[in-house]
Amino acid sequence: MMKLLVYTDGKPAAAKALAFAAELKKRLVSELAVITVRSGTHATEEPPPVGIDFPLTDRNSLPEGLQALVDAIDVLEATGLMHRPRSIRIQDIARGHLFVCRTVADERIAFYESFGHFIDSLNHEIERHQYSLLIISPQCLGKLQRLVKGDPVRKLALDLHTSVLVVRGGGPDSRYVVCADGSPSAQRQFPLLKGLLHSIRGPVDLVWVKKPDVKKQDIEAAEKCLQHAWNWLETCDRAGAVHRLEGENLVDLIVDAAGTSSVIVMGASLRHDVYRRMLGSLPMQVLSKTKSSILLAKLPPEADVDFMKAPFSC
């Protein structure tokens, strides 16, 4: 079972991530939870009414973080995933608060308000509940804002302890563009893609972008990966086009091939951490430039072994 965690801060952009997460939940055998992260501690906000059936007609009296979670209920209801309850029962937990709602299929959705550092709070819940994918649609920041506040998407790509789907222009029914160059990091994305395959409605395109001076063994590895992936997707009736592109600027070629309304799939780089932070890996550079959504697979290195030995099942 895939375990999905979707982030909301109550801002309009978060609705895109919530809607995407709701569609994944409806299409997959999966578990879904919603989280918001607040800086500071419990003591920085008025304590909420804990342990009682709190009527949602009084939602505006809740602290800001819990209001953001109640707003998320509205978005999930609009997707048809759940009905809005008349009341919620808020519980105290170690790092914040929790309440639980039910889907129309009577499945549990947990809503977490967590206090603390943004990445640390997310990683705490990810490790505690073993979430396999975080879904987020952060607010667009200008260059100056990113310089002053830092880029949250970059921080997630570097330091989050699970895969991340950054929702921008591509939605659940958009074209998926899988970057497959045969490298170990590229191969790591396929176990995650397998878990999501039943949520993908249309064909999946494969893209390999090579530099003019690429080595022979790298060409062979890429072609083997492309053929293996295409065979698997064809068996599952998801095979789209295979794009073999060439040029010096790999980032621009990938961004142009995806356009502005796709879901780009890439494996997280296995380069040394200092290199990734100082120079940026290819996925990091694509992440910073594309207007499409991007799914960054962050799986352990051993996760690619089964895919290359034999085609996955559907």
Q: What is the pLDDT of residue 85?
A: 97
Q: Tell me the two tokens of residue 103.
A: 């889907």
Q: What is the pLDDT of residue 303?
A: 54
Give, in degrees to the nearest 5, the angle at Cα 153 between 151 and 154: 70
Tens of pLDDT along 108-151? 999 999 999 999 999 999 999 999 999 999 876 555 444 445 58
Tens of pLDDT along 187-219? 888 989 999 999 999 889 999 998 888 899 999
Q: Give the mean pLDDT of 303-307.
A: 56
Contact 216, 207 (CB under 8 A): no
Tens of pLDDT along 169-191? 999 999 999 999 988 888 888 98
Among 114-118, 204-208, 220-224, 300-304, the minimum mean pLDDT is found in 300-304
Whether residue 277 is predicted with pLDDT greater than 80 in this model: the reply is: no
Q: Tell me the two tokens of residue 226.
A: 């492309």
- Contacts of residue 60, defined as CB under 8 A and 6 or more positions apart, other chains included, come to 67
What CA–CA distance (Å, rounded) separates 296 from 153?
Answer: 11
Whether residue 301 is predicted with pLDDT greater than 60 in this model: the reply is: no
Give 283 or 101, the one with higher predicted confidence.
101
pTM: 0.92
Nearest to 121 by CA among 278, 9, 21: 9
Whether residue 18 is predicted with pLDDT greater than 70 in this model: the reply is: yes
Q: What is the pLDDT of residue 46?
A: 83
Q: Give the mean pLDDT of 298-313.
A: 64
Question: Which CA distances in Å does 249 have to 114, 256, 285?
Answer: 41, 11, 11
What's the distance, CA 314 to chain centroid?
21
Question: Which CA distances in Å does 86 have to 55, 56, 60, 101?
Answer: 6, 6, 14, 10
Q: What is the pLDDT of residue 279?
A: 41
What CA–CA distance (Å, rounded) separates 83 from 63?
Answer: 23
Q: What is the pLDDT of residue 240?
A: 94
Residue ranges with strand state E in 149-221: 163-166, 176-179, 204-210
Q: Give the mean pLDDT of 92-116.
A: 96
Whether residue 14 is predicted with pLDDT greater than 50 in this model: the reply is: yes
Q: What is the pLDDT of residue 270?
A: 52
**What domains, with CATH codes, occur in the chain?**
2-166 (3.40.50.620), 176-309 (3.40.50.620)
